[in-house]
Amino acid sequence: MTFLFSKPLPDELAKSHLYRICAMNNIRVSRLLAKETKNQCPKHCNHPWTWIYTHHIMSYLSDMTPQAYRAHHTQMPLMNKWYKVYSLDAVKESTTCVYDYPQFHHHSIASTYDSKICSDCRTEDLRAFSMTYWHREHQIPGLDICPKHQTPLAKFEDDYTYYAPNPVDIEGRISDKALVMANFHPVIMRYQDIALLTLRNPKLVRFEQAHDELLSRAMDLGVCRSQTRHTGQSYIENHIGQVLYENLPRAWMAEHFSTDFLNTAFYPHEMASEEYHTKLDRLKYVGGAEPIFILLALAALFESTNDICSILFEPAADIALPQR
């Protein structure tokens, strides 16, 4: 039987591209894709043709390099292993989550309903491609409205990308008004803009340099302070978390961090062990924090998207700001 294949659509999420191809070929478990395409393994292939390298296989079948496939169809530029996007060595899915999307907190509502769709984009896709699909840019963590249409995104549990790789007529959970409004808060808008620009320009992103500048800015503002222990050892006292807890809309924090924030009197204790609090605390070490936390902190401590772009991208002149 001939194996059916179609290349990924513009900004199509790698995960739903994979599920779409599996559905077209009646492959029920995506791990079996490698077996079904064994005869297409190229001679120059430098890794085994197994499920551990599924995205390599998908990129080969798409006529793309694995680097371009990771850069244009995954959320890897926003994840812990962002530096592997352009890796020349084979990237194993058993050690690097190529198909996942990052979240601010694994036990948040956002993390349960992490697959999102814009109904306006869906209508446009139906006209342009005679089908619909899951866009990568809609899955940015902390985003509840479409970056293009500014309309609320419908939200689904993760496995919908498997059951509906062509999500033409499914209805998801719609955010309430307070959460939609929160997406227009200046810090949240700046965060969403720079996260979107990071996905669109992964080659130009300089996380270490931006993190360095973030810490100097935090020091200037008195948000981070250099302290000395009685042993003579110095350390950094970091209050970036407090800045976010005090300034970001509660509805947004409740969705993406924890429902605890629905209580207006709630502030995590300085030594709190919540995952998001620990991750924010790691911002005091350059190289120790996840991209989405660096981006959120940049959005909170700098006042303009242009200023952030000038330290986050090189060359910044090549960056086209999102249209609003």
Nearer Cβ to Zn ion, position 150 or 304?
A: 150
Closer CB to Zn ion, residue 149 or residue 217?
A: 149
Residue placing its CB nearer to Zn ion in the complex, 146 or 289: 146
Q: Which helix (H) or strand (E) holds 190?
A: helix 186-200
Task: Please report which helix (H) or strand (E) contains residue 219, including its range.
Answer: helix 207-221
Are 209 and 192 spatial neighbours (Cβ–Cβ below 8 Å)? no
Total number of residues that touch Zn ion (CB under 5 A): 6
Of the candidates 31, 84, 92, 148, which one interacts with Zn ion according to CB under 5 A? 148
Of the candidates 81, 84, 92, 149, which one interacts with Zn ion according to CB under 5 A?
149
As measured in angstroms, the least distance from the Cβ of 136 to Zn ion is 13
- Give the nearer residue to Zn ion in terms of CB position, either 146 or 210: 146
Q: 265-282 burial by CB neighbour count: b if 16+ within 10 A, else e? A: eeebeeeeebbbbebbbe
Q: How far is CA 189 from the centre of its chain?
A: 15
State the minimum distance, in angstroms, from the CB of residue 321 to Zn ion: 18
Q: What is the dihedral of CA 314, 317, 318, 322, to 10 degrees?
A: 110
In the complex, least distance from residue 117 CB atom to Zn ion, rounded to whole angstroms? 9
CB of 11 to Zn ion, least distance (A): 11
CB of 152 to Zn ion, least distance (A): 10
Helix, strand, coil percentages in the chain from 3-state DSSP, rounded to 5? 50, 5, 45
Radius of gyration for the chain, computed over Cα atoms and rounded to the nearest angstrom: 21
Closest to Zn ion by CB, 120 or 208:
120
Q: Using the rule CB under 5 A, give the single segment among 106-114, 145-153, 189-197, 236-244 that binds Zn ion.
A: 145-153
Interacting span for Zn ion (CB under 5 A) from 67-75, 138-146, 232-240, 248-256: 138-146
Find out whether 173 and 56 touch, Cβ atoms under 8 Å.
no
| 80/322 with CB nearer Zn ion | 322
Closer residue to Zn ion in complex, CB, 120/260: 120
Q: What is the C-alpha to C-alpha distance for residues 135 and 298, in angstroms, rounded to an integer? A: 25
Task: Find the shortest distance in angstroms from Cβ 246 to Zn ion.
Answer: 32
Comparing CB distances to Zn ion, the nearer of 118 and 164 is 118
Q: In b/e form, how buried is each residue of 83-106, taking b as 16+ CB within 10 angstroms?
A: ebbbeeeebebeebebbbbbbbbe
- Decide if residue 146 touches Zn ion (CB under 5 A): yes
Phi/psi zone of residue 120: left (φ > 0), alpha (ψ -120 to 50 degrees), beta?
A: alpha
Phi-psi region of 135 (alpha: psi -120 to 50; beta: other; left: phi over 0): beta
**In sequence order, what are the residues at sequence separation of 6 or more whose Cβ sits closer than 8 angstroms to the Cβ of residue 26?**
none
Residues 93-122 touching Zn ion, rule: CB under 5 A, are: 118, 120-121
Q: Report the nearest approach of Zn ion to the CB of residue 149 (Å).
A: 4
- Nearest distance in Å: CB 192, Zn ion: 13
| Contact status: 92 vs Zn ion (CB under 5 A) | no
- x/- track of binding to Zn ion for residues 248-267 (CB under 5 A): --------------------
Binding residues (CB under 5 A) for Zn ion: these are 118, 120-121, 146, 148-149
